[in-house]
Amino acid sequence: MPVRFVKTSLFAAFALLLGAAAARANEPSYGPNTYDRTLEALIAHEDVAGRGGWPKVPSSVTALKPDAQGPDVALLKHRLMLSGDLAPSSLPGDIYDASVIDAVKRFQRRHGLSDLGTVGRLTLKALNVPVETRLNQLTATLERLKGKGFAFAERYVVVNIPGASVEAVENGIVQRRHLAIVGRADRQSPVLQASITSVNLNPYWTAPTSIVKADIIPKMRKEPDFLAKSHMRLLGAENREIDPATVNWAGLTSPYFTVRQDPGPDNALGQLKIDMPNSEAVYLHDTPKKSLFRNDVRFNSSGCARVEGVRDLAAWLLEGSEWTLASLEAEIARGERKDIRLKKSVPVAWVYLTGWQGADGQVQFREDIYGLDTPQGIVTSTIQPRKPKPKPPVETSAPKPPTVPRPAQTTTASN
């Protein structure tokens, strides 16, 4: 279908954004209409860029608190208005009032940050990303979405890697949203499509050879009791256990054994794994390091996705069977390994969305953690890189609101 984009005044667009957000916040970030909506966002941002973009915000705004007053507040309000986060009707003025707090929170949510309503380091960084960079992100996302051919079934799961998040979708509505921890830059989570087939309780973890070489062997050189403390075993031919004391760890370069961790709460997979057979050998799982979910920046894994509240997600996947959250909890408490096959597999897509427009009309941005938002990062890309235009020096006095209304746009660190 052709994309229809009607330019509206910033006043009307902002009101539309608020109403749509309340009504459609439960629609998925990745669905059949994501491409068309993101194209709308690209058009809107092209218009913003054509009008000069938005001003750079000084670092002094990080010292602002509610009820503060002055030129920094006025500049912040101007910046938030240009991105559609602050209603134009709140201008002019230089007071950090409730409307500014709400606008900062809205901006933070759109960028995957904790919505505290004050400007921290990460929020300042996001505010000062030039509109040309945002255009590149939207264009790169559109390139990646082309021709993916994902089957948006009645029930499916989405892992957005830059967003470090998971959505469980049924009949076009998000039933569950989960924070996730995904691969760090040197151990990237892959973009793929697969099917979830089973839930594994109290799983073993067999360390990949790459992790044995990069992590476990160096650990054993420094801490000879590391394997014992971590409840790990060395297994040789026919799964015969090898005594770690017999291994020449100092000279070992290529392991001749596998390393397997026993089930339990300290297991690297936690106490539950969601299996989705694929060529990249990645999956969704629990973790014993649950404090990491409190961070705004959650790129800490070796490629798999750790999921906050993964037992709830497993219960959702097993709906229609005899398994409930309560029965899963009881079975996990027994401490025995168990595989539960889904009666019907559920499609899952691991996607790389750094800029997209949701069904609620809000444009979302996340950091390009893997550096893929470039022509080199996209195969057969048609991206034309945009460079920021020189901006005039920031005025020290309160900026004047624009005379021409502009279209609104329809990720533990400080935020």
Q: What is the pLDDT of residue 146?
A: 86
Homologous superfamily in CATH for domain 163-204+264-351: L,D-transpeptidase catalytic domain-like (2.40.440.10)
The active-site residue, picked from 45, 78, 178, 304, is 304
Instruction: Spell out, as residue ranges, where the chain has pLDDT lower than 70.
Output: 1-25, 90-92, 375-415
How far is the C-alpha of 362 from the C-alpha of 358, rounded, in Å? 6
Which pLDDT tens digit goes with each residue over 246-270?
999 999 988 999 999 999 999 999 9
Q: What is the pLDDT of residue 5?
A: 33
CB neighbour list of residue 125: distance below 8 Å, 6 or more residues apart: none
Q: Which residue in 411, 205, 210, 165 sits closest to 308, CA to CA?
A: 165
- Compute and round to an integer the Cα radius of gyration of the chain: 24
**Amino acid of residue 363:** V
- The yes-or-no answer on residue 178 being catalytic is no
Q: What is the pLDDT of residue 396?
A: 42
Q: How far is CA 260 from the centre of its chain?
A: 30
Domain ranges of the chain: 10-142+357-377, 163-204+264-351, 206-261
- The yes-or-no answer on residue 78 being catalytic is no
How far is the C-alpha of 375 from the C-alpha of 384, rounded, in Å? 8
pTM for the model: 0.82
Q: What is the pLDDT of residue 247?
A: 95
Contact (Cβ atoms closer than 8 angstroms) between residue 167 and residue 30: yes
Q: What is the pLDDT of residue 69?
A: 93
Q: What is the pLDDT of residue 90?
A: 59
3-state secondary structure 169-190: EECCEEEEEEEEEEECCCCCCC
The active-site residue, picked from 78, 111, 178, 285, is 285
Q: What share of the chain is helix, strand, coil (3-state, %, to 5)?
A: 35, 20, 45
Say if strands 305-307 and 232-235 run parallel, antiparallel, or are unpaired.
unpaired
CB neighbour list of residue 220: distance below 8 Å, 6 or more residues apart: 226, 227, 244, 247, 249
